[in-house]
Structure 1
Amino acid sequence: MAGNIKNINTADAEIADHLRSIFHIKPKPAPTKCNPFVVEFFGVLSLTDLREPERKLWYIYYCKQTDIERTLHQIHKKYGKKNMYEIFRKPVFSGPALRASVKKHFAELKWFTKGNLLEAPPKSHFNNERVCKTITDLHNIEQQRLYNYVMVKNQWYFKR
């Protein structure tokens, strides 16, 4: 009996695929690779260069919630734990997208952006509070963009 149910399900799937091709309906999407239960975080660390204390440096990172400790340990190992502290950490939809918008914003301000490191130009008026506020504003813009996208898709769905 169980074998017959399996055959019926595969036959139904073949018929559904055939009907989709006849009526030019998009095929069913494959399951997504991302796990909605694993949260991704974006963070910023304030970094002090002991050799040149007047330099203003920040390190940006993103990682899954399960990898935060490992990522921070690697960063602290590279730059020294005493030389940095965290000024920003928030859950995000896409860490690479927010990283790209942050780097683009600061590059337009003529900052030095190399890899994950942000460096303010000499005699800049930026401090940790202003950097944190700017990144919070960029995060809010990203959230608003996602919200608008979902709402447009939702309205389109109900108009169909």
Structure 2
Amino acid sequence: MASGVDKSFDDEFETYLHRMFYIKPTEETTKCDPSIVECFGVLSLTDMRAPDRKLWYIYYCKQPEVDDTLNRIFHKYGKKNMCEIFRKPTFSGVGLRARVKTYFSEKKWLVKGNLLEAPPKSLYNNDRMVRNITDLYNEERKMLYTYICMKHDAFSRYYK
């Protein structure tokens, strides 16, 4: 940016929403109902029988259900074999899951249910996986931001 100060997407989005709805910013934080916020996460999975396989498990659930969901996954695959590499709140966990599955299936990965498996001898590791998932997450948020901007423009044209 020209000012030299980088603003995050959240800050820009909040500023735009305040301008769009003519709301004065307040110093207090708004309270969010955690029961309606969805989380999307990725777990790195190590297969003890074939350690050269590169596996990841994707999940989504409501905020209060995260612990139960992770316990169920850990019980199925073993807690020692998994570590969480990504977890973010999202507008639609189902939508982001579909976007992630489509992205990796187009790259000729084995996608079965919630498991993602990289092809043999691929260069993917947890860091590269986090970068790709973060890019997909940011695209999802940008799509929502664009939709709100489009609706605002249509609304403002209608009332002029």
TM-score computed with the length of structure 1 as normaliser? 0.77
**AA of the residue aligned to 2:91:** F
The answer for the alignment partner of 2:143 in structure 1 is 145
The answer for the alignment partner of 2:107 in structure 1 is 109
Structure 1 residue 151, shift from structure 2 partner: 0.4
The answer for the alignment partner of 1:94 in structure 2 is 92
The answer for the alignment partner of 2:23 in structure 1 is none
The answer for the alignment partner of 1:71 in structure 2 is 69
Match of 1:82 among 80, 83, 89: 80
Can you give the 5+ residue segments of structure 2 that lack an aligned partner in the other structure? 1-31
Identity %: 60
The answer for the alignment partner of 1:130 in structure 2 is 128
The answer for the alignment partner of 1:23 in structure 2 is none
User: In structure 1, what is the Cα distance between the partners aligned to 2:94 and 2:124?
Assistant: 24
Structure 1 residue 113, shift from structure 2 partner: 0.2
Say which structure is richer in helix: 1
Match of 1:46 among 44, 60, 71: 44
**AA of the residue aligned to 1:69:** D
**AA of the residue aligned to 1:102:** V
SS at match of 2:138: helix
The answer for the alignment partner of 2:59 in structure 1 is 61
**AA of the residue aligned to 1:45:** L
**AA of the residue aligned to 2:37:** V
**AA of the residue aligned to 2:156:** F
- Which is higher, the Rg of structure 1 or of structure 2? 1
Can you give the 5+ residue segments of structure 1 that lack an aligned partner in the other structure? 1-35
**AA of the residue aligned to 2:107:** L
User: In structure 1, what is the Cα distance between the partners aligned to 2:47 and 2:94?
Assistant: 26
The answer for the alignment partner of 2:27 in structure 1 is none
SS at match of 1:123: coil
| Residues 66-119 of structure 1: CA deviation (Å, up to 9, x unaligned) | 100000000000000000000000000000000000000000110000000000
**AA of the residue aligned to 2:58:** I
Following TM superposition, the consecutive aligned residue runs of length 4 or more in structure 1 with deviations greater than 6 angstroms are none
